[in-house]
Amino acid sequence: MTILQVLKKIKHLDRKINTIKDRISRWCSHSEDEPSPYEIPKLQQSLSSLVDEISKLRHVLHATNAITMVQMEGEASPKTLDEYIILKTFVLPQKIEALKLMHRSERGYSAPASVKNVIEYDPSERDKQIDKYEYQLEKIDTFLDTMNITLAVME
């Protein structure tokens, strides 16, 4: 089974879990006039089984991501899929956000005209760095999409 197939299966199981949770919530307590169409203990058992299955699938995905070494085109050395995922979801977005904090602040209307703004950074260099990080994000995203489609999970 490929990574993509596992992700789809997890999504499908998540939908089933939400449906069962809704049924349990709705029918765990009801009036005697309208009998429950479901047996709550069976629903709870189904929910428990589905959660266990998702847990196993997530473990398999995590193990695959932590063990599988891949090398993206243009990279000097191979990295694990997990390293690329962390780069995509945490490292690069944090770096971009930190660079975007550097922006020009305008003088207030009450400030004297003789006061000048001092810029402690080069705006064009900041923009180049942001573009570089965003390009890396796109490249990693495309690479991971390809890996999700082609790589089989470790079972």
Mean pLDDT by 10 residues, the chain (155 residues): 95 97 84 76 95 97 94 92 96 96 73 73 93 97 94 86
pLDDT score of 134: 97
Domain boundary assignment for the chain: 1-67, 70-103+120-155
pLDDT score of 126: 94
Phi/psi for 152 (5° steps) reads: -90, 150
The encoded tokens of residue 7 equal: 């992700």
Q: Which residues contact 81 (CB under 8 A, 6 or more apart)?
A: 64, 65, 66, 68, 70, 144, 147, 151
Phi/psi for 117 (5° steps) reads: -75, 140
Termini Cα distance of the chain = 9
The encoded tokens of residue 85 equal: 């995922």
Work out the number of other CB atoms within 10 angstroms of the CB of residue 13: 16
Look at residues 83, 76, 82 and name the one whose alpha carbon lies nearest to residue 154: 82
pLDDT score of 108: 63
pLDDT score of 109: 66
pLDDT score of 27: 77
Look at residues 42, 40, 47, 44 and name the one whose alpha carbon lies nearest to residue 13: 47
N residues, the chain: 155
